[in-house]
Structure 1
Amino acid sequence: MAHIVLFHSILGRRPVEGEIAAVFEADGHTVSVPDLYGGEAADDYDAGFALRRAVGTEAIIERARRAVEAAPAEAVLAGVSFGAALVGEFWQQRPAMAGALLFAGIAEWMDPPRAGLPVAAHIARPDPFDDEDYFAGWLAGQGEADVELHRYDGAGHYFLDPALADYDEAAARLCLDRSRDFLARL
């Protein structure tokens, strides 16, 4: 079973990250969900971006780094939106990482992308924060990484969170089922 480090979205650690973790834990995985904002959370994206600025990049990166360092070398790095982008801060230093699981966002590729690295990304289509050229460019840069890009037509950006207007129950269920399958193959 995998050890997963799941970084929360720009909104902070909210109940949904615990719900996602519980799905994976029910399959026997170990999941840590570091609180990158020190107990603060937001209910909308504007407040989330303001909170991120208030906490500061240095504190966020340090909290994320501590969580990654506490995990086994082969841990799966995962994240939601802003949290998915954080994966890109660490995967270069994780040569034994078993895989990456990205929700509602992607991470900048390591240079070069590790051959055979399993990566699954789950993105709404259209995504309100990034256009289709952005995702096409990301795919073009995958090198020899083993990438699965799943798109969810008509779903909101953070379609996994039932507390948001973005929520799409069918997309969330499909995303979690695909993620469970991905983790089972690692």
Structure 2
Amino acid sequence: MAEVLLYHHIQGLTDGVRAFADDLRRDGHTVHAPDLFDGRTFGSIEEGFAFAREAGFDAIRERGAAAAAALGPDLVYAGLSFGVTIAQRLAQTRPGARGALLMLSCIPVSEFGGTWPEGVPVQIHGKEGDEFFDEDLPAARELVGSTNDAELFVYPGDEHLFVDSSLEAYDPEASALLLERVKAFLAAV
């Protein structure tokens, strides 16, 4: 079983993110889901971004890195949207990564050192009509083209935080398929 460090999206560690983590735990995985917003959750992406701007994006990302430092190196780094900025950086730069799950976002590999690390498998998930993921799709395709250990899954629809069962954007069908693919990935690492 895998040990997963899951970083929440910009609306915080919502009940839907907790449910996602619990679903992976029921499969036997150890899942750490640190609360980078100190218990705050937000009703919209805009409210979450306003909080993050005020708190400082770098300070929040450093909290995420500190959560990783408290754990061993053999982790699968997973991020949901904003959380990908932390998960991807750690997967690319912290030795010992077992894999990366980049859900709802993908950052250009050049942001964190230029190349994807050899032997670190990665899955990228997003919706084809999601305005946020559309911006990241070129980076996702570039990452997939740079390694034999990458998969890109694009789902129909335009909801951004579609895996969070506590939000209006939740898409049960796409979320179930994403979760099935994530579980297969974790079983293989």
Same fold judged by TM-score > 0.5? yes
Query: Is structure 2 residue 28 aligned with structure 1 residue 28?
Result: yes
Partner amino acid for 1:120? Q
Structure 1 gap segments, 5+ residues each? none
What's the C-alpha RMSD, in Å, of the aligned pairs?
1.7
Q: 1:165 aligns with which of 160, 168, 188?
A: 168
Distance 1:145 1:54, change over 3 A: farther
Partner of 2:140: 138
1:183 aligned counterpart, secondary structure: helix
| TM, length-normalised to structure 2 | 0.90
Q: 1:122: how far off?
A: 1.1
Partner of 1:7: 7
2:79 aligned counterpart, secondary structure: strand
- CA displacement, residues 80-113 of structure 1 (integer Å, 9 cap, x when unaligned): 0000122233223322100001111113324221
Where do residues 67-82 of structure 1 align in structure 2 (5 Å cutoff)?
67-82=67-82
Query: Partners in 2 of 1:92 and 1:117 — Cα distance?
Result: 8
Structure 2 gap segments, 5+ residues each? none
Query: Partners in 1 of 2:15 and 2:143 — Cα distance?
Result: 34
Aligned residues: 185
Partner amino acid for 2:142? A
Q: 1:155: how far off?
A: 4.6
Distance 1:97 1:145, change over 3 A: farther
Partner of 1:183: 186
1:84 aligned counterpart, secondary structure: helix
| TM, length-normalised to structure 1 | 0.92
Partner of 2:100: 100
Partner amino acid for 1:169? P
Partner amino acid for 2:64? A
- CA displacement, residues 98-146 of structure 1 (integer Å, 9 cap, x when unaligned): 00011111133242211232101110111211436x4134322442251
Q: Mean Cα displacement is larger for which, 100-109 or 139-148?
A: 139-148
2:132 aligned counterpart, secondary structure: coil
Partner amino acid for 1:144? T
Distance 1:137 1:79, change over 3 A: closer
Q: Is the 8 A contact 2:131 2:158 kept in 1?
A: no
Q: Is the 8 A contact 1:24 1:180 kept in 2?
A: yes
Query: Partners in 2 of 1:29 and 1:175 — Cα distance?
Result: 16
Distance 1:22 1:141, change over 3 A: closer
Query: Partners in 2 of 1:72 and 1:130 — Cα distance?
Result: 31
Partner of 2:157: 154
Query: Partners in 1 of 2:139 and 2:57 — Cα distance?
Result: 26
Q: Is the 8 A contact 1:86 1:107 kept in 2?
A: no
1:9 aligned counterpart, secondary structure: coil
Query: Partners in 2 of 1:140 and 1:65 — Cα distance?
Result: 25
Q: Mean Cα displacement is larger for which, 2-11 or 155-164?
A: 155-164
Give 4+ residue runs of structure 1 displaced > 4 Å after superposition: none
Q: Is the 8 A contact 2:161 2:170 kept in 1?
A: yes
Partner amino acid for 1:162? S
Partner amino acid for 1:3? E
